[in-house]
Chain A
């Protein structure tokens, strides 16, 4: 478009902003170097390069590499940095062209990132000039392959809030009213002996003994037995999660497992059948029998009803996101945008995940049945379904801290394999274990926040910040595959939590339209008519899509300030009214009677 003012500012990454915030928190800013550094961040090298910006063309600049980030400044002007990319974002570094390649800017490095962009640098062809840059980048972007620590272990940032204190399982279960007559907390997995990918603390039916649990574990893939995720505060139906039963080709049965599921059903007397949602497509569930897995058959599990939710596996999701990147980066497919988008199937997958979660939430909310959710191992699709259903059912999880607890609980503690899915510090970019499952979950949350703009305390920036640090390796939050590994590595002692950053700057992440509603169940519309591509995330590197500074964010701050002012006035009102009330305490319609409720709103 002719009228687009192509500004260098536009290509700044979001990372930049957290930078500026962090600098207030005491980042070392060495003026001589002109590279801001986090405490614990050290400079490794710098080099003159040409950054081949896909939007603004080649830019001459100096690239600085630290043990945390790649930072690019233009040589031509004294301006804001052009790039500020945490090395954790890098998934692949390739050399392009050879020493004898012809053509301008044909010799250099091509960097593929995990966050929907590529970076290309051209270097001088003389004297292997790219070799050391390639080696240093490889070393610090993939520290695991070089026996180096991930940056999170070197980060010495300090924050006002300690994010590691956010999630305390005992407290969270107590909030849910647990333990109660039907459900107990067990420490059988204290040393991760029952199941090494589960958390130490589990909630199980009161009537199931620890011996029962051990026997059930033998029949569930990777010992991931059915345990409680959430209980409805009124009707007491529950969401239970687990992995697939080890039925196998021969159709093996396990009396303990069958009995255990019946015990779960019986925790609620009104229920005649336990609903099982197998997240997979039917054929995949059948195919899993070949590798010893399977699903709960009607004849073995009498009081159950089984539904397949048709959500595809991690490989399908990875390929789908790849296609999304193909149509949005660097150029947005213009001529057949909608059909191209359709052919990525990304929104269709989002739709299926949301549809599944809605079914879980509806079943539980209606009180008709308790729900058991599993996929194959119960750490990808299962985590998506339980956490989204909980988000729909329980408004607590829609607050900033509530959401942190939800992620901490359903994803981190229950062993979503972040290390494998993201590949932190790992050079095997083609690893088949990588998959954007957590991103897909955050996308679903974003879709919900679009449909219910007043229901979430957090804003879009909160979600994008979480995704940025999913890759950045600045915080320990998403490192490792499970709680036992994190405990072995003493992650909470040796690293900083992402929630420390967020909770110390909460206002930046607040949605001014948030209205707290206690008992409202959210049912998003999971129709293609209402789902949309998250442009602000997937296409944010394109300067035509995302511009800085963002007037909406500015307006958010104004609205938050206004809200504070309104609240102040309310308090004044409360004072004048209580004064009046002491004069005439008989008025039944006095607003002061509402004020106790009012206060709960903020």
Chain B
């Protein structure tokens, strides 16, 4: 179970930026023959990003001593062993049998030091992006391709980041949401530091009203529009109204405005998430239990009572609670045609999960790769989900809670239950989860968009970086998957069972709202659990290994010949290679649209065991 290597650690100096020095290398000597073709361009198979480290324990066998290394701590003994507990359930152990006692100590202290920075600006992403700016200072237009975010898994569509007015405007048009408008009162974060600069509000509320009302809300987080159903009912999220005197009045005005924005003027259904869902501490506790269960030794002991232990960890129960509650709101929006307001104290934790799940279930667009990514931008990154604290990048937060992982798990459950409804695969979800622990991308690094701007501006000033008109540094985006994977590997993000493609249709130059053809109301629900996961793994192992031309990205010899690379597994290994020279026209797949998804039974809520498959 453990990576137990009798080998000294290779640890690279902090200055060695090109080699991504924040990664810990401990390659197996025999790792030359790469069995699996699927690999991360930034990380080797056994590399651990420093932000992925959870705890560092040093051991001395002879003295029988053991010490957890916090930041800036002294080590009074010479370690014979180093154990690194990772956030992704890995446990990495090193023996220092061959290295001198002093260097062993130095390595341990260095890892402890760099993996537990005292300040946000000491995270690797800052140094990385700073260096990029310096390197490109001499070039024209040399600014790194920042936020934008490139092709999702081989697709050509850009992911809207919702940093601009126009992204929100397009989303309003895409969903056909009449009665809603983009509001700019938070430009320059003048109203709230935890809201995005642009968001969408009921058209009937004037800027001045919003400014006045905002004082009544926790964190000035006034009602934010998430999404509108084609029937006109809207999904809205907001914080609690803290001002007891104003509460009724403000509440009334807000609800009236949302009602006015509904074509049928229907009532508003308010869902108090704090009362209906587990809180973030409970979720964290469940996750800790789950982790203990998964890394526990001896294996046989946990094996015997695996299912009941899994149940008592309560993680799956919570995943199901979120799915169930979201499904109820789907019913309210879809069948009752009533607008839904998600209410939560700060409106930036449970709301993120529920708002996203409801949209994944209702809108096929969010089951595509670009759509799913835009959803995460919209409901998590821009909505001020506190990634820094919840992911605990600085390792000293008491506010750690894996809500984003919970969302990915819930999405995975939906994918298991509706294998034909998602453009992306299990591999994509797993890789996305891993990416939250790589402190190179700006996407999952901050508590709010404002924090990114503020911190990176400070950093830029201290490092003498000219920002020009830019609002803060442009960190690389997770959505630029080419930074992590070759075009060929990105084909594994695609789910071969996917039958629904309902991208926004561009007609006469304008984007039409997506079409919502219902094939039949109860058409799509199926349950073929786990089909995709293992398949992708096997495709990995079957993928031809010598084809490096594809790594260049654009020059994919197969794509250029009109064959869908993600479907090439249909042919055998050798046939796939032979296909390199097949001439043909593009295959147009038969496409269906999938109406809405419902999570089903507890019997269908299964354990996402992919991490276990990798590490056990």
Contact = CB atoms under 8 A, between A and B. Distances in A.
A512 B568 CA distance: 11
B572 A516 contact: yes
B310 interface: yes
B523 A342 contact: no
Interface string A523-566: 00101111011011001001011110111101100110011011
B506 interface: no
B501 to A, nearest CB: 12
Contacts of A333: 602
Given A529-B609, A552-B419, A1 B582 contact: no
A381 B477 CA distance: 56
B527 A535 contact: yes
A454 B568 CA distance: 13
A577 to B, nearest CB: 8
Interface in B323-352: 324, 327-328, 330-331, 334-335
Contacts of B590: 558
Contacts of B420: 551-552, 554-555
A560 to B, nearest CB: 8
Interface in B93-141: none
Interface stretch (A117-125, A407-415, A594-602): A594-602
Interface stretch (B34-42, B263-271, B272-280, B533-541): B533-541
Interface in A1-24: 1-5, 7, 9-10
Given A332-B601, A562-B567, A551 B535 contact: no
Contacts of B539: 454
B603 A570 contact: no
B574 A453 contact: no
Interface stretch (B55-63, B299-307, B383-391): B299-307
Interface residues of B, number: 75
B572 A454 contact: no
Contact of A546 (B527, B574, B577, B592): B527
A271 to B, nearest CB: 30
A350 B398 CA distance: 43
Nearest to A544: B600
B616 A450 contact: no
B222 interface: no
A331 to B, nearest CB: 9
Nearest to A341: B307
Contact of A529 (B587, B598, B607): B607
A601 B527 contact: no
Nearest to B571: A566
A3 B525 CA distance: 12
A334 B570 contact: no
Contacts of A542: 601
Max count, chain A CB within 10 A of own CB: residue among B496, B530, B571, B589:
B571
A338 B600 contact: no
A552 B594 CA distance: 12
Contacts of A529: 303, 306, 607, 609, 612, 616
A3 B572 contact: no
Given A547-B526, A569-B584, A598-B574, A453 B531 contact: yes
Interface residues of A, number: 71
Contacts of B582: 569-570, 572-573
Max count, chain A CB within 10 A of own CB: residue among B578, B594, B605:
B578
Interface in B515-572: 521-531, 534-535, 538-539, 542, 563, 567-572
Max count, chain B CB within 10 A of own CB: residue among A544, A565, A577:
A544
Max count, chain B CB within 10 A of own CB: residue among A328, A545, A572:
A545
Contact of B575 (A455, A530, A570, A577): A570
Interface string B293-323: 0000000000101111011100010000000
A551 B592 CA distance: 9
A269 interface: no
A108 to B, nearest CB: 28
A567 interface: yes
A515 interface: yes
A587 to B, nearest CB: 11
B210 interface: no
Contacts of B534: 450-453
Contacts of A536: 527-528
19 contacts: A1-B327, A332-B603, A341-B307, A342-B306, A527-B616, A535-B529, A536-B527, A544-B601, A546-B527, A551-B421, A552-B528, A554-B499, A555-B498, A558-B499, A569-B582, A570-B571, A572-B582, A591-B578, A594-B578
Closest 7 CB pairs of A and B: A601-B572, A3-B331, A528-B306, A338-B311, A551-B420, A342-B307, A591-B578
